[in-house]
Each structure stands twice: as C-alpha cells, then as structure tokens.
Amino acid sequence: MAAATALTVVLALLAVFQLALALGAPLGRFAWGGAHRVLPTTLRIGSLVSIVIYTVIAVLALDRVGLIDVVPDAVAAVGMWVVFGYFVIGIVMNAISRSKPERVTMTPVVAVLALLSLLVALS
C-alpha cells in the first residue's frame, strides 16, 4: 500500500509539472526532449494527455493494492505490469535525451516510478 501511495504522490507532482508546461511555463528544457523553453501547442496537448495517463496509472495502482475498487482485479494486475514496462522504457528515453536538465532530473524520477510500479505489480 505504501508503494501505491508513493507512486500516486509522485504522479500527482508530475501532473502539476505537466499542467504548468501546458499552461506555458518556461520549463520545457526538463521535458519532451528539452528542445523548447516554452512548449508549442502540440507538446502542450501532449502534456495534458500525460496528466490523463498519470491518472489512469494512479487508479490502477490504488486498485491493485485494494484502496479503491474500480477495475477488475485481473485488469489492475496486468495493467501494473504494463505500467512497469512503460516506466522502464521511460528511463531509457529520458537517459538518452539531448537535454541535460531532462536527463539529470527526469531519469531518476522515472526510475523511482519504475521501482514503485514494480512493487505495486508484485503486491
């Protein structure tokens, strides 16, 4: 349960970050390859989509550990393994980013998300 809660908290913080990006905050060097200080419209939309994805992941995690009951148990179980794989890919993608701020900041964040999602998947 602690891993699911921690995962949800980190995702909520990332959602706030993505919302700031979508609203035009000059933080683009930390996301989406770091090519833009202020994101163009297409990447702002991507940031909003990310918030939706983070919400789905949080629901799956909280459902998996029994804090909520929204999806069938099998969906939560398989879904968390998919989430773990998604974050493992995210580690690689952030690690090879051309943006040093993104590499240095987001690679460890996504590594923590991968670890937490693994713990939830194993629960």
Q: What is the mean pLDDT of residues 54-78?
A: 95
Residues 6 or more apart whose Cβ sits within 8 Å of residue 89? none
pTM for the full model? 0.87
Greatest C-alpha distance within the chain: 42
pLDDT in tens, 91-108: 999 999 888 999 999 999
Contact 96, 83 (CB under 8 A): no
Please report, for the chain, the start and end positions of each structural domain, with discontinuous segments joined by +: 2-122
Amino acid 56: pLDDT: 96
> Which CA distances in Å does 26 have to 10, 39, 78?
21, 8, 37
33: pLDDT strictly greater than 90: no
35: pLDDT strictly greater than 90: no
